[in-house]
Amino acid sequence: MSAAPIPYGRSTQKAPATPEVHILWITAGLSCDGDTVSITAATQPSIEDVLLGAIPGLPKVHLHNPVLAYEVGDDFMKHWYEAEKGRLEPFVLVIEGSIPNEKIKKEGYWAALGTNPTSGQPITTCEWIDRLAPKATAVVACGTCATYGGIHAMQGNPTGCMGLADYLGWNWKSKAGLPIVNVPGCPVQPDNFMETLLYLLYQLAGLAPMIPLDDQLRPKWLFGFTVHEGCDRAGYYEQGDFAEDYNSEKCLVKIGCWGPVVNCNVPKRGWMAGIGGCPNVGGICIGCTMPGFPDKFMPFMDEPPGARISAGTIGVYGTAIRSLRAITNHTVNKEPKWRHPGRKLTTGYHPQAF
Ligand code: SF4
Ligand code: SF4
Ligand code: SF4
């Protein structure tokens, strides 16, 4: 039974009766399942809150993810066949993992989910995308492998794999008029993904306007800033105070941090419950959210191009400013001189004559 069309982008319109929504989550791209594992740590919202109906206004949500499902075998796969026949509407299709190019693999396949009951052959991941994407209300790529190809798509790989938008087309739209939604990260930051899913579920309920995406199809409010702009160590950078090894609390740019040119909110948001966030806790940013990852960021431990010039320039300014601030800091670290016992008032107070 088909649901009525959903009024995307018209939040002032009266909300339709909230449908039940299914999330069909393919982890069978070229992947390590790390994104599914990651989202189990989400708290804003948690996956439990979404599935158990703890969030007001959301439709009832059914999740079909092979890593998290209680069902196995045919009991698990039946939802996929129902969706293919148009009997599981509306549904959101989530893709995790890089999309292999099966056209270069005549002798077999790279990735698959389930078995074709007629031929007995595996159903390839590409075939599932071809079957289900046209019927999905929204399609979400979860993690950098699914969004842009990621590690599996690096130069020299034998699979010819790619991101979902490379496969379906960057101008692809769902039947409800939504573009592909990309939530990159290797793995995806748990709350970034769950917050995006929450937004889409509100959109399905007619309670949110069109999701704002940038030209790489990322949610703008999550990926509009650089790592550097949210980094706990940015003060050290500004003062030209750089770490020479990994046992330092100072800025990591000279030992390989790409934070100044990478779109990611992890230093602001942390990893789990606000804790962590790569450079905040001593890890260089290797650009894992970026379309150019990993090739354009390798070798990882080297000083990024441009870092020598920017660090050298900021070093001159920062060293001078740091010295001046040290003098001021020394001054303001002492109490004013009039705070002492004695018979004479030395505060400069002058009583008014009445
Ligand atoms: Fe694994 Fe990273 Fe790919 Fe996600 S993006 S499937 S965590 S390699
Ligand atoms: Fe910027 Fe990286 Fe230094 Fe943080 S550690 S201030 S992100 S260069
Ligand atoms: Fe990836 Fe850098 Fe963000 Fe860490 S800070 S998650 S390495 S992009």
pLDDT value of residue 351: 85
CA 214 to CA 147: how far, in whole Å? 13
Kindly report, residue by residue over 12-59, the tens digit of the pLDDT. Answer: 455 555 579 999 999 999 999 999 999 999 999 999 999 999 999 999
Q: How does the average pLDDT of the chain come out, rounded?
A: 93
CA 78 to CA 333: how far, in whole Å? 70
pLDDT value of residue 2: 39
Compute CA distances 206 → 4, 85, 193, 211, whole Å: 12, 25, 20, 12
Q: If you ran DSSP here, which 8-state letter would residue 90 be given? A: S
| CA angle at 152 for the pair 271 and 231, rounded to the nearest 5° | 30
- Is residue 258 domain-shared with residue 184, that is, in the same domain? no
- Residue 253 CB less than 6 A away from ligand 2: yes
Structure tokens at 123: 């159903």
Q: How many domains does the chain have?
A: 2
- What type of residue sits at position 239? Q
Looking at 183, 204, 223, the residue that finishes a domain is 223
Which of the listed residues 229, 253, 268, 313 should we mutate to test ligand 2's pocket, taking the one with most ligand atoms within 8 A of CB? 253
| Residue with more model confidence, 12 or 143 | 143
- Is residue 134 domain-shared with residue 254, that is, in the same domain? no
Compute CA distances 354 → 350, 351, whole Å: 13, 9
Determine, yes or no, domain membership for 91: yes
- Is residue 178 domain-shared with residue 195, that is, in the same domain? yes
Determine, yes or no, domain membership for 119: yes
Q: If you ran DSSP here, which 8-state letter would residue 183 be given? A: E
Reduce the DSSP state of residue 53 to 3 states and report it.
coil
Q: Are strands 21-26 and 91-96 parallel, antiparallel or unpaired?
A: parallel
Determine, yes or no, domain membership for 15: no
- Residue 254 CB less than 6 A away from ligand 2: no
Determine, yes or no, domain membership for 26: yes
Determine, yes or no, domain membership for 2: no
Q: Tell me the residue ranges of DSSP E strands in the chain.
A: 21-26, 61-64, 91-96, 112-115, 122-124, 138-142, 181-183
SS3 letters across 207-228: CCCCCCECCCCCEHHHHCCECH
- What type of residue sits at position 246? Y
The single residue listed with the structure tokens 């650009």 is 287
Which of the listed residues 227, 229, 238, 265 should we mutate to test ligand 2's pocket, taking the one with most ligand atoms within 8 A of CB? 227
- Residue 145 CB less than 6 A away from ligand 1: yes
Chain CA centroid to CA 1, Å: 34
CA 123 to CA 111: how far, in whole Å? 8
| Residue with more model confidence, 132 or 307 | 132
Under 8 Å between Cβ of 190 and 272:
yes
- Residue 233 CB less than 6 A away from ligand 2: yes
Per 3-state DSSP, the chain is made up of helix, strand and coil in percentages (nearest 5) of 35, 15, 55
Neighbours of 32 (CB within 10 A): 17
- Is residue 133 domain-shared with residue 28, that is, in the same domain? yes
Determine, yes or no, domain membership for 211: yes
Q: Which residues contact 156 (CB under 8 A, 6 or more apart)?
A: none
The closest alpha carbon to 214, from 264, 249, 152, belongs to 264
- Is residue 49 domain-shared with residue 189, that is, in the same domain? yes
- In this structure, what CATH number is given to the domain that contains residue 217? 3.40.50.700
Which of the listed residues 271, 288, 293 should we mutate to test ligand 3's pocket, taking the one with most ligand atoms within 8 A of CB? 288
pLDDT value of residue 14: 52
- Is residue 217 domain-shared with residue 272, that is, in the same domain? no
Determine, yes or no, domain membership for 209: yes
The single residue listed with the structure tokens 């130069």 is 155
Under 8 Å between Cβ of 241 and 315:
no
Q: What are the backbone dihedrals phi and psi of residue 30, each rounded to the nearest 5 degrees, phi first?
A: -75, 100
If you average pLDDT over residues 251-265, what whole number do you get? 96
Q: How far is the CA of 347 from the centre of ligand 1 (A)?
A: 65
Q: Residue 203: pLDDT above 50?
A: yes
- Is residue 256 domain-shared with residue 191, that is, in the same domain? no
- Residue 95 CB less than 6 A away from ligand 1: no
Instruction: Indicate which atom in ligand 1 lies nearest the CA of residue 34.
Output: 7
- Residue 132 CB less than 6 A away from ligand 2: no
- Is residue 202 domain-shared with residue 325, that is, in the same domain? no
pLDDT band at 352 (very low <50, low <70, confident <90, very high): confident
Determine, yes or no, domain membership for 315: yes
Reduce the DSSP state of residue 62 to 3 states and report it.
strand
- Is residue 244 domain-shared with residue 155, that is, in the same domain? no
Neighbours of 264 (CB within 10 A): 29
If you average pLDDT over residues 137-165, what whole number do you get? 97
Q: How far is the CA of 44 from the centre of ligand 3 (A)?
A: 19
- Is residue 180 domain-shared with residue 271, that is, in the same domain? no
- Is residue 79 domain-shared with residue 193, that is, in the same domain? yes
Looking at 200, 223, 246, the residue that finishes a domain is 223
Instruction: Indicate which atom in ligand 3 lies nearest the CA of residue 262.
Output: 8
Kindly report, residue by residue over 63-113, the tens digit of the pLDDT. Answer: 999 999 999 999 999 999 999 999 999 999 999 999 999 999 988 999 999
Q: If you ran DSSP here, which 8-state letter would residue 24 be given? A: E
Structure tokens at 15: 């909300």
pLDDT band at 8 (very low <50, low <70, confident <90, very high): very low
- In this structure, what CATH number is given to the domain that contains residue 281? 4.10.480.10
Instruction: Give the up-direction half-sphere exposure of residue 99: CA atoms within 13 A in the CB hemisphere.
Output: 21
The domain in which residue 316 lies consists of: 225-333
CA 141 to CA 181: how far, in whole Å? 6
pLDDT value of residue 302: 85
Going by alpha carbons, the residue nearest to atom 2 of ligand 3 is 285
- Is residue 176 domain-shared with residue 235, that is, in the same domain? no
Looking at 159, 192, 223, the residue that finishes a domain is 223
